[in-house]
A and B are shown apart, each in its own frame.
Chain A
Amino acid sequence: MINSIFLVDSIGVQNWTYILVGITFSLYIGIAVWARAGSTKEFYVAGGGVSPLANGMATAADWMSAASFISMAGIISFAGYDGAVYLMGWTGGYVLLALLLAPYLRKFGKFTVPDFIGDRYYSNTARLVGVICALLVSFTYVAGQMRGVGLVFSRFLEVDINTGVVIGMLIVLFYAVLGGMKGITYTQVAQYCVLIFAFMVPAIFISIQMTGNPIPQLGFGSELVDGSGTFLLDKLDGLSTDLGFAEYTQGSKSLVDIFAITLALMVGTAGLPHVIVRFFTVKRVKDARKSAGIALLLIVILYSTAPAVAAFARTNMIETLSNKSYATVPEWFKKWETTGLITFVDKNNDGLIQYVADNNKNELVVDNDIMVLANPEIAELPNWVIALVAAGALAAALSTAAGLLLVISASVSHDLIKKIINPKISEKNELIAARFSAVVAVCVAGYFGINPPGFVAATVALAFGLAAASFFPAIILGIFYKRMNKEGAIAGMIVGIVVMLYYMLKYKLGWFDEVTPDKSEWWFGISPEGFGSVAMLLNFIVSITIMKFTPLPPKDVQEIVEKIRIPSGAGKATH
């Protein structure tokens, strides 16, 4: 047994990574060839006949990006309690999606989100505003994904980041352009399996090592195996306060900000076009509801494990490094130091690593991403587990990138070209246009991946803020408020987006001042990350106020609303 482990380990991390990444990539390409799209319906919504289970898996992979897989556990690890905004925010949105949006949009039965906005608000202006929102949201999001692909390649296979981005582009290009939504859906099913396996295996190993409990969600609340009888979280609270940090289970953000960020992420999730469009691919309204449930269940498997990994990794890190001699640090420390993800400056020249909250005395800076990427090494797990993490991270980044690219190409070929510019375009030409816009979108995304704009750090918050401020209110009012008219909806979306952009540019990027304004100047004490909730409220208020002073929507539109509220007779998606 021990012999065979050594034998397997002698293959080395890098070769293992080549093997696992090679196998998974061939699998994705094989699926793409098998699931080619032959019509626009297949290209946009996979023909509308995807089973709830497959759609749930695809949605989960689509949803969990490089950020969820690589960064989230690390962010929680450093933020402690505050990290809950991501956990609740990025899962609670699915309840809104399942109860308030997915079934009705499926019944409505079109191809894209701007389709709904344009038809429900009987106006091409509304459609155009929808297209602009969809493009803004998707491009900001996809740039980060391509960067993630490049980073994983460079860290595990020691190729240049840019080469990594190009390899990622080629793969996505191949299956998104060939297969459209159909190809993407079935590769995402495979990618979900890869990424969840890759995330869970190290988590289970570490949970057993630290607490003796194989289920990380329970190990997280168990006693340590060191025989001290101390609970892991109590130990971590103690370690944190000893070093001058906030208590791990308390966090340091204000209550109002926590509330606002959680809400903004929830409604943002429910308003993201690449998530919504997944529910157009199932057969019936009841399948849309069910697949939202399955998707969330599959997402929560990873999301409930992440905070456990966060707590394990944090405890491990403090115990391994704090006040230890730099000369005797483990090998992984030196390896990740060369990537710049860990930096150590011996400020007081005592040869020991001081890791404390006080910035003047702290000597150790650890990047968020380390907590997942280096965790298997920190816990001394076998090489194949380390390689598995690389394959999982790539699956997460590629699946999300592909989903976003599809939204971009559909927005251009369907919403812009077919519905606004040239309604007479033939099915065949529309399909060509769709493929062509997918190619252009991949190139633009790749460009941003290679030359990340300065605002990449702000992009995730921005994408959620914009979705919360634009689509969410417009769709909710479109379904639940029959009297809502085009004037109200258009004004609401525009005000929502403009205010959101302004706040982000002013308080996150500091475009309008010499220095970025301090948090004491935030409106109501709400950070740019949480401002989406304010912008969303503004959208609702503006929409309803304007509606009161403008004509009711035409009779046939009111009838559409009556119809989408009834689940039966949801035909296949049509033009």
Chain B
Amino acid sequence: MEKNNSKVYWKENIKYLFILLTVWFLVSFGGGILFKDFLNEFKFGGFKLGFWFAQQGSMYVFVILIFIYVKLMNKLDKKYGYDK
């Protein structure tokens, strides 16, 4: 049971990592680099959108991602009794 528990816990952890890191990749390497020229067609105040992702937006998303991860993992720890 104990062994099984840890396997399921690890699987869910990996799933979270996969989702969060996909977002991490999309905002920085996607929005800020690969799709920059396309996004620059759009404007956000005085910012061209691709430029904004590169110099502002991706950093804000990074911070949010870590705090989401903290929340998700605290919940997961509790669910499997690893929060002690």
Question: Chain A interface (Cβ within 8 Å of chain B)?
Answer: 76, 81, 83-84, 87-88, 91-92, 94-95, 98-100, 103, 217-218, 220-223, 231-234, 249, 255, 258-259, 262-263, 286, 289-290, 292-293, 296-297, 300, 303-304, 307, 562, 565-569
Contact = CB atoms under 8 A, between A and B. Distances in A.
A307 B33 CA distance: 17
Nearest to B31: A88
A566 B82 contact: yes
A15 B67 CA distance: 43
Interface in B10-65: 10, 13, 17, 20-21, 24, 28-29, 32-34, 36, 40, 44-48, 51-52, 54-56, 58-60, 62-63, 65
A230 to B, nearest CB: 9
Q: Do most interface residues of chain B lie in helix, strand or loop, or is the interface mixed?
A: helix
B70 A217 contact: no
A223 B46 contact: yes
Contact of B82 (A76, A218, A262, A567): A567
A147 to B, nearest CB: 28
A300 B60 contact: yes
Contacts of B63: 293, 296-297, 300
A255 B62 contact: no
Contacts of A100: 17
A131 B47 CA distance: 45
Given A88-B54, A100-B17, A300-B62, A221 B67 contact: no
Contacts of A567: 73, 77, 82-83
Interface of B: 6, 9-10, 13, 17, 20-21, 24, 28-29, 32-34, 36, 40, 44-48, 51-52, 54-56, 58-60, 62-63, 65-67, 69-70, 73-74, 77, 81-84
Given A84-B55, A100-B17, A296 B62 contact: yes
Nearest to A290: B70
B46 A231 contact: yes
Contacts of B65: 95
A19 to B, nearest CB: 34
A244 B22 CA distance: 38
Given A293-B70, A568-B81, 19 more contacts: A87-B59, A88-B54, A95-B20, A95-B24, A99-B66, A103-B73, A218-B45, A233-B47, A259-B33, A286-B74, A290-B70, A297-B63, A300-B60, A300-B63, A303-B59, A307-B55, A565-B13, A567-B77, A568-B84
A338 B74 CA distance: 57
A273 B40 CA distance: 37
Contacts of A292: 66
A146 to B, nearest CB: 29
B30 to A, nearest CB: 11
A81 B77 contact: no
Contacts of A304: 56, 59-60
A98 B70 CA distance: 9
A95 B62 contact: yes
Given A92-B24, A262-B28, A304-B59, A222 B46 contact: yes
B77 A221 contact: no
A208 B31 CA distance: 29
Task: Determine which residue in A88, A98, A220, A249 has the highest number of CB atoms from chain B within 10 A of its CB, and name it.
Answer: A88
B73 to A, nearest CB: 6
Given A95-B21, A231-B46, A84 B66 contact: no
A189 B62 CA distance: 22
A525 to B, nearest CB: 15
A255 B34 contact: yes
A222 B45 contact: yes
B64 to A, nearest CB: 9
A565 B6 contact: yes
Contacts of B10: 565
B70 A91 contact: no
Contacts of A218: 45
Task: Determine which residue in A84, A232, A289 has the highest number of CB atoms from chain B within 10 A of its CB, and name it.
Answer: A84
Contact of A221 (B17, B33, B52, B81): B52
Task: Determine which residue in B44, B51, B65 has the highest number of CB atoms from chain A within 10 A of its CB, and name it.
Answer: B51
Given A568-B77, A568-B84, A92 B67 contact: no
Task: Determine which residue in B6, B10, B45, B74 has the highest number of CB atoms from chain A within 10 A of its CB, and name it.
Answer: B45
A91 B59 contact: yes
B82 to A, nearest CB: 4
A96 to B, nearest CB: 8
Given A232-B46, A289-B73, A568-B84, A262 B62 contact: no
B6 A296 contact: no
B66 A95 contact: yes
A257 to B, nearest CB: 10
A510 B67 CA distance: 44
Task: Determine which residue in B17, B73, B84 has the highest number of CB atoms from chain A within 10 A of its CB, and name it.
Answer: B73
Nearest to B46: A231
Contacts of B69: 98-99, 289, 293
Contacts of A233: 46-48, 51
6 contacts: A84-B32, A221-B44, A249-B48, A262-B28, A289-B73, A307-B56
A92 B9 CA distance: 26
